[in-house]
Amino acid sequence: MALKLHNTLQRDKGLQEFVPLDPQKKKVGMYCCGPTVYDFAHIGNWRTFVFADLVRRTLEFSGYDVTHVMNITDVEDKIIKRVREQKTTLREFTGKFETAFLDDLKALGCREPHQKPRATEHIAEIIALIEKLVARGVAYKAADGSVYFSIEKYRGCGCCYGQLLKLNLDEMRAGERVASDEYEKESVADFALWKARVPEDGEVFWPSPFGEGRPGWHIECSAMSIKALGETFDLHLGGEDLKFPHHEDEIAQSEGATGKPFVKFWLHGAHLLVEGKKMSKSLGNFFTLRDLLAKGFTGREVRYLLLTAHYRETFNFTLDGLAGAKSALGRIDECVGKLREIAGGTTAAPNTKLAEQFSAALADDLNISAAWAVVFEWVRETNKRIADSSLSANDAAAALAAWEKVDSVLGVGAKAEAEAPAEILALAEARSAAKKAKDFKRSDAIRDELKAKGWVIDDTPKGIKLRKL
Ligand code: AMP
Ligand code: ZN
């Protein structure tokens, strides 16, 4: 089924069928703006990264060969401020938050991006890109020693600034500049590509043909994405707050330097509110993943909850919602656990119905609510058949295989119980033989031996079951 997505470049023109640039229609290049590693990522940030993981998994499920790139922003205004305040080095400061971010990404069941470029390791590429922009006449060095992107010159070349959202460029005053990495829509102005070294930067600077300094945030993403995926690539993602200025500036820098279209599809995830409010430390609703784990929730539960709402809808995250996630996952786990019991060791090709309905839901701009409805209807029907004892081992194995296919996108399934090693299986068989021969002394001795090796044997109406202690 053709995958249709809401491409921000198309604004209100409705959904657009996703067709990769690759002439073979197989390879897909996908870039998601990564974390700014100046603190632990909060639950809002995680909504965006789990959304990116859903996009990647959906594309892989659809048979595409995806290269997923997520940068690490390890030099930027907020980082430099904290490095200065904490009297530490850039690498030491960003390193601990980068490690924490990657640990959390794993805890949330996200597939690791294939490439995780760091801005500080791409200074040469950044400088080369700025040089191109200067050579093409769309960037200039100002009296403060910094290099700025000229929106007027860029538009003068027939290029469009304001592709992702409508900007009132007529109100722009020529020559106005903005040096900070983040600014409001009202301040459309020339933005910094290279920031000249100032005393507050401390030791955070690099030499360049424009003088000592450091890159602006926006140019980092243009340089890293072009290096990893080429001058034109398929998909670029991020939270909706990044549309302006960050993504608009990425387009201007990239298209200004290469003269080619930068990205075919732009996807933006809506923001997350917590208990109905914008997250803030003073409101006490600012959660990191670690805060939620400390309250006894699991990464799987958080992932489930973040995946319950459509990516273009604002989502209200609540602790009650997380408790609900626990019970919803419990229903799936129970059903899948019973299927495993009935299937025993039997394997079978997946049933097609579940996966077909599920992928039809996702093909409609990742309609996750419809996809969950398909899953829970399947749980209900499967439970009914389990209760009727109308599932053979083969039926159960086919149902399990279908669930595993669907879960390759959702990523919330509990792992099957650990397989017992051959030595344990042999002991279990010897115990069954001893019991059959009514040699209870031997069967008890084997049970004790298994226990000493960390395994418990349960006698159930359907035979024995091995459990790890
Ligand atoms: P940052 O580390 O601040 O650069 O943000 C990383 C990602 O999280 C970006 O794609 C942001 O758009 C996204 N983001 C920030 N706040 C929220 C929020 N409240 N809800 C959803 N995404 C967010
Ligand atoms: Zn970016």
Atom 3 in ligand 1: which residue has the minimum CA distance? 36
Specify the 3-state DSSP secondary structure of 239: strand
Is the Cβ atom of 242 under 6 angstroms away from ligand 1?
Answer: yes
pLDDT at 302: 97
Q: Which ligand is nearest to the CA of 251?
A: 2
Q: What is the rounded CA–CA span in Å between residue 282 and residue 81?
A: 21
Is the Cβ atom of 34 under 6 angstroms away from ligand 1?
Answer: no
- Helix or strand holding residue 454 (H, E): none
Eight-class DSSP state of 247: I
CA R_g for the chain: 27
Q: Where are the domains of the chain?
A: 18-273, 326-414, 422-468
Pick the CATH number of 326-414 from 2.60.40.1930, 3.40.50.150, 1.20.120.640, 2.30.22.10: 1.20.120.640
Is the Cβ atom of 312 under 6 angstroms away from ligand 1?
Answer: no
- For 442-467, the pLDDT digits (tens) are 999 999 888 888 787 877 665 677 77
Backbone angles phi, psi at 74, to 5 degrees: -115, 15
Work out the pLDDT band at 79, boundaries 50, 70, 90: very high
Average per-residue pLDDT for the chain:
92
Does domain 18-273 bear CATH number 3.30.420.40? no
The torsion region of residue 158 among left (phi > 0), alpha (psi -120 to 50) and beta comes to left
Provide mean pLDDT across the span 134-163: 93
- Strands 315-317 and 272-274 turn out to be parallel
Q: Which ligand is nearest to the CA of 70?
A: 2
Backbone angles phi, psi at 264, to 5 degrees: -80, -45
pLDDT at 13: 87
Provide mean pLDDT across the span 166-184: 73
- For 207-225, the pLDDT digits (tens) are 999 999 999 999 999 999 9
Q: Which two tokens stand for residue 43?
A: 């639950």
Closest CA to 123 of 170, 158, 81, 90: 90
CA 12, chain centre distance (Å): 25
pLDDT at 468 over 90: no
- For 347-375, the pLDDT digits (tens) are 999 999 999 999 999 999 999 999 999 99
Q: Which ligand is nearest to the CA of 238?
A: 1
pLDDT at 284 over 80: no
Provide mean pLDDT across the span 150-154: 93
Q: Among 241, 305, 311, name the best residue to mutate to test ligand 1's pocket (greatest count of ligand atoms within 8 A of Cβ).
A: 241
Eight-class DSSP state of 232: S
Ligand 2 center to residue 35 CA distance, Å?
A: 9
Closest CA to 43 of 414, 370, 409, 322: 322
Residue 413 neighbours by CB under 8 Å, 6+ apart = 332, 336, 403, 404, 407
For residue 240, give the ligand 1 atom closest to its CA: 12
18-273 and 326-414 share one fold: no
Instruction: List 459's β-bridge partners, or say none.
Output: 464
Atom 7 in ligand 1: which residue has the minimum CA distance? 45
Distances (CA, A) of 136 to 129, 133, 224: 11, 5, 20
Work out the pLDDT band at 432, boundaries 50, 70, 90: confident
Q: Which two tokens stand for residue 414?
A: 């509990």
Closest CA to 305 of 335, 286, 278, 326: 326
